[in-house]
Amino acid sequence: MKKSITVVGAIIENEDREILCALRSPSMSLPNLWEFPGGKVETNETLKEAVERESKEELGCTVEFLNVFHDSTHEYDDIIVNLITIKCKLISGTPVKNEHSKLLWLRRESLLSLKWTSADIPAVLLLSLEKV
């Protein structure tokens, strides 16, 4: 039986209404694919706690949980990932690439120009259609 994990992905928007995209490094699983930064939800951790902790660890910045945007499950060859994307507000700091190869701010209409992880695609599609 495949292992199943729940992960959060932070949808962080800047003042110009651009969304932060993160390129997975060659040493990560699913290398060189784009994702919303985040990570595994720990035991007894709320989604709010998880996304705020992961943003500090991965990006060195402080975000505020706003709301759950999308919840989907994707089955990879070796693992089942329940990805919960969360809209967040950048509170302090500038995101830096502690774990990723690259960070990029993109407008919604340009999100589909990147090659995303399969788990992130449903949220990317919804975001690209969102009217702001």
Q: Where are the domains of the chain?
A: 3-129
Please indicate, yes or no, whether the overall pTM of this predicted structure exceeds 0.75.
Answer: yes
Q: Residue 1: what pLDDT?
A: 82
Average pLDDT over residues 56-73: 96
Regarding the domain delimited by 3-129, which CATH topology (the fold level of the hierarchy) does it fall under? Nucleoside Triphosphate Pyrophosphohydrolase (3.90.79)
Amino acid present at 17 = R
Average pLDDT over residues 96-124: 96
E strand intervals along 14-126: 19-23, 34-35, 38-40, 62-75, 79-92, 102-106
pLDDT at 13 over 90: yes
Query: What does the pLDDT look like over 32-50, one tens digit per residue?
Result: 999 999 999 999 999 999 9
pLDDT at 28 over 90: no
**Bridge partner list, 11:** 87
3-class DSSP assignment, residue 13: strand
